[in-house]
Structure 1
Amino acid sequence: MTEARTGWLNDHEMAAWRAYIVGSALLDHRLNRELQSAHGLSIADYEILVRLSEQPGQRMRMSRLAADVAHSKSRISHQIRRLEAADLVRRQECPNDGRGVLAILTEEGAQRLRDAAPTHVAGVREHMIDQLEPEEQEVLAKVFDRLTDHLRGLDD
């Protein structure tokens, strides 16, 4: 990859940056609003429920969950506290490591996820997937995988 440059963005770079900022903010806002109004879930809460549902035993260490959804440990703690109050998730000490804490999807959380998933998938399709050609979807996935790898590598 090229060396980091300093200075102002040129017109093409600025157009790409602004399109990303505005488009991603509008998409996030729309998907969040649809989940909130139909199911009382934020998109961040939905993503946590999804991640837990994909794990064996529907449980995950809080530190790994934070890394997987790209949130700070304190933000995950706050979200899990809210999800716990709604009986969608519960916490438990790690049986093999007293310092670790597991987040566990409850049956109520699994049901809320099953109810919300069609709304979310329909929104993702309508507001993103269906707006892109298959080749653009591939490019988008490659670009954001590269950015994710780069940014996660900075934390090592």
Structure 2
Amino acid sequence: MTVTASESRDAIGPGEISSEELVVWRMLQRAQVRITRLLETDLLVEHDLALASYDVLSQLSEAPERRLRMNDLAERVLLSRSGLTRLIDRLQRDGLVQREACASDARGLFAVLTDAGALRLAEATPTYLRGIRTRFLDVLDADELRQCAAMLTKLFPDAAEH
């Protein structure tokens, strides 16, 4: 007799996780961490640019007028607000980003991508995309990629927006 995943889950009480489910969860965590570390290493070695910095520059480049309010940027990147503030400080010192006051909110600030930041992003993007291609996309076939997208969309329906 074959037991389906949902039947297996029904045999486990609320708040419990089977050993198989825990293995899948840990594999997902490890895959994300390993791929992220490899992308980070590539960007640091080839462009002296941390992955979080790349993410900020990328988000700003895709925003209207290459600018985002700090609060909006913090929601789009995987950093705390204080972590983002420290990162923006470094990017500003490097001339890649500048801060601008928000005319409609005296307390609000925009992070704005500079021309130097856009150039650095353009130089680093082929490295970033190559890393995604070789470490993720080329490992999965087209059907597996569709399944992966369907599963991630099920987990995070609004994730594709950013």
- TM-score bin, normalised by smaller chain: 0.7 to 0.9
Specify which of 71, 79, 84 is matched with residue 87 of structure 2.
79
1:71: how far off? 2.2
What is the rounded CA distance, in whole Å, between the counterparts of 1:132 and 1:87 in structure 2?
38
2:104 is matched by which residue type in structure 1?
Answer: N
What TM-score do you get using the length of structure 2 for normalisation? 0.84
Q: Which residue of 1 aligns with 2:29?
A: 21
Name the larger-Rg structure.
2
C-alpha displacement of 1:149: 4.7
Instruction: Give me the identity figure in percent.
Output: 33
Q: Which moved more, 1:122-131 or 1:90-99?
A: 90-99
Match of 1:47? 55
Instruction: Provide the C-alpha distance between the structure 2 equivalents of 1:17 and 1:150, rounded to a whole number of angstroms.
Output: 21
Q: Does 1:103 align with 2:111?
A: yes
What is the alpha-carbon root mean square deviation over aligned residues?
2.0
Determine whether 1:11 maps to 2:38: no
Instruction: Specify which of 72, 80, 95 is matched with residue 64 of structure 1.
Output: 72
Partner of 1:133: 141
Equivalent-residue separation in structure 2 for 1:68 and 1:128 (angstroms): 22
Question: Secondary structure of the equivalent of 2:156?
Answer: helix
SS in 1 for 2:98: strand
Q: Is 1:123 equivalent to 2:121 in the alignment? A: no
- The structure-2 alpha-carbon separation of the partners of 1:150 and 1:55, relative to structure 1 and needing over 3 Å to count, comes to closer
Compared CA separation, residues 70 and 146, structure 1 to 2 (3 A): farther
Name structure 1 gaps, 5 residues minimum: 152-156
Aligned residues: 148
Distance, in Å, in 2 between the alignment partners of 1:125 and 1:88 is 26
Q: Structure 2: 5+ residue runs without aligned partners? A: 1-8
Q: Residues 34-76 of structure 1: CA distance to partner in whole angstroms, max 9, x if unpaired? A: 0000001111110110010011110000100010113221111
The separation in 2 between residues aligned to 1:136 and 1:12, in whole angstroms, is: 20
> Runs of 4 or more off by more than 6 Å in structure 1?
none
